Structure 1
Amino acid sequence: MNFDLDGRTAFVTGAARGQGRRHAITLAQHGANIVAIDLCGQIDTVPYSMSTPEDLAETVQLVESTGRKIIAKQGDVRDFEQVQATVDEAFAAFGRIDIVVANAGTNGLGGAGGAGPFESQDIDLQRWRDCIDTNLTGVFNTIKAAVPAMISGERGGSIIATSSTAGIRGLRSMADYVAAKHGVVGLCRAFANELAEHSIRVNTVHPTGVATQMVENPELPAFFQAYPKAAVNLDGNLLPVDLVQPEDVSNAVLFLASDAARYVTGLEMTVDAGFTARA
């Protein structure tokens, strides 16, 4: 398969660590220059420690070690102007945007106002706003900012948005996250139709639990212990693995970004070890 991305530019959100960092490195290893943005700060309703400026600096070093160039900015995908400013700087430097990986996301599960006896009804309103604003509006802002540059190049392109198994199934005690990730699917279905005339493909990836800080933090098991009904979300993947690795998702992103997927659009690609196929 042809995974050569030489000369292309990829815009990756949430790139300071975790899946976003791995996506940036993988795309760079296959020839793409990288534009990276990450909040590098804490959101109060998120119970685990979020990324730092030092994390983003490490991503820069790792991408540069591949021989590719990177522009990295601290910025909040909830703020359209910050996203647009990053895209504008990258377009001025590289002259093109070919690939968008709208990956930035959070999960408030386990934090204050996470859930309780009434489960999703007890989700704190600020947690709801933060989750929707980051995981859904952030994807919209990313695509809205990047698409004009993609269209102007008249080369087509690929947009990949990170959804989740929660974008396919109604997981318990996390209605905010489920709503946001389902929203990403609807948003990308609409954009797949609207952007096809420009040869811009739009797809979503749907991982099961991934071995990143969002999942591997002490708040999450404590939450499931306190609210065992929510533990149904952990009933298991079909394949004998608890978590997939970031590179497993990055392999899917690489395929969708490349010419190997030149006629693939509107796809919901699961990287879920069979989670959503479970009877």
Structure 2
Amino acid sequence: MFSGKVVLITGAAGGIGIAAAKAFAKEGAKLALVDLSKEALEKAANTMDAGDVLLLTANVANEDEVKRYVEETMNHYGQIDVFINNAGINGKFANLVDQSAENFQAVMNVNVNGVFFGLKHVLKTMMKQKSGVIVNTASNGGLLGAPGMGPYIASKHAVIGLNKTAALEAAEYGIRVNAVAPSGVDTAMMKSIETNAMPGKEQEAREMFESTVPMKRYATPEEIADLMVFLSSDKASFITGSYYRIDGGQGTGSA
């Protein structure tokens, strides 16, 4: 399905990033994987059966580093066909009246600035190609509220807004832009959220979070990756500007 195509993935050493890389590699894609740690990227790459993999370290909150990972991908492959704009953090839990400006800004720097910089520089390349697909990782938190998670919730609402705007600006160039909006996913990030929510009582936190999902479980990273692959494929050729809940029914009847 993606033979000869180049797929660029940020947050590629995390749970969803690894699953996405494996899923695209299985379909024949060439990969450019971006994360903060070269060691973590190498460890992730060793778990996948991929023919051509470029490993790139970058902080997505730094525009110069984003510009560099795009340029290095283009220098190596000569094209970017799919961009999985996936890097994100959850930040620290606290009610708004107790949130620090430092935590709020840290979350915004990665989750909003990182997505914006990625869109800005990848779209420039795709517009020259007059082709490409972008999938942004949002969250059902971009559609709902959650006590104690104000910075994260605000950041994911912003991702959905950027997603809609990018789709409108890119459509005339033959570029599609969509977002996935998962609920809890069984990854290290979700374990961090459990610890933030109920320190020392992570299993109770997991049971509490899962109880809010009609299907009574977290998603697997592979389930999110499968949706990303579909949205990036020709089977989704008339889909753009949309966001897709993948939340076990959690958002049903809400926003």
Same fold (TM over 0.5): yes
Alignment correspondent of 1:134:
110
Give the Cα separation in 1 of the matches to 2:16 and 2:9: 10
Q: What amino acid is the match of 2:19?
A: R
Q: Can you list the C-alpha shifts for 1:121-174, whole angstroms capped at 9, x where unaligned? A: 2111111001011011100111111112212223x1111000001001011111
Matches within 5 A, 1:18-37: 18-37=15-34
- AA partner of residue 59 (structure 2): D
Alignment partners' CA distance in 2, 1:11 and 1:31: 14
Q: Distance in 2 between matches of 1:225 and 1:22?
A: 28
Q: Determine the structure 2 residue equivalent to 1:267.
A: 242
> What do residues 63-88 of structure 1 show as CA deviations (whole Å, max 9, x unaligned)?
4x232x11111110001111111111
State the distance in 2 between where 1:187 and 1:215 align.
24
Distance (whole Å) between structure 1 residues aligned to residue 79 and residue 60 of structure 2: 20
Structure 1 stretches of at least 4 aligned residues deviating more than 3 Å after TM superposition: 223-226, 231-235
Match of 1:56 in 2: 41
Q: Is the counterpart of residue 90 in structure 1 residue 76 in structure 2?
A: no
Q: Which residue is equivalent to 1:191?
A: 166
Deviation, 1:257, is 0.7
Query: Once the two structures are superposed, what CA deviation does each residue of 1:233-273 show, in whole Å capped at 9, x if it has no partner?
Result: 665111232x1100000000000111010110011111100
* CA distance in structure 1 between the aligned counterparts of 2:148 and 2:198, rounded to whole angstroms: 14
Secondary structure class of the residue paired with 1:277: coil
Indicate if the aligned counterparts of 2:142 and 2:160 stay in contact, CA closer than 8 A. Answer: yes
> Is 1:121 aligned with 2:97?
yes
How far apart, in 1, do the equivalents of 2:201 and 2:170 lie? 45
* C-alpha distance in 1 between matches for 2:113 and 2:20: 21
Query: What is the CA distance between 1:223 and its match in structure 2?
Result: 4.5
Structure 1 gap ranges (5+) = 41-52
The CA distance in 2 between the partners of 1:198 and 1:224, in whole Å, is: 51
Q: Tell me, yes or no, if the aligned pair for 2:160 and 2:179 is still in contact at 8 Å.
A: yes
- Aligned counterpart, 1:11: 8
Task: Give the aligned residue type for 1:197.
Answer: E
1:197-246 residue CA offsets vs partner (Å, 9 max, x unmatched): 011111110001001111124623525969x9xx98665111232x1100
Quick one: distance in 1 between partners of 2:36 and 2:139? 21
Counterpart of 1:255?
230
**CA-atom RMSD, angstroms?**
2.1
Contact 1:237 1:278 in 2 (8 A): no
AA aligned to 1:66 is A
Tell me, in whole angstroms, the C-alpha distance in 1 between the residues paired with 2:126 and 2:200: 43
The residue correspondences of 1:237-252 to structure 2 (distance < 5 A) are 237-241=213-217, 243-252=218-227
Matched to 1:28, the amino acid is A
Question: Which consecutive residues of structure 2, in runs of 5 or more, have no partner in the other structure?
Answer: none
**Displacement, 1:278?**
5.4
TM-score, normalised via structure 1 length: 0.84
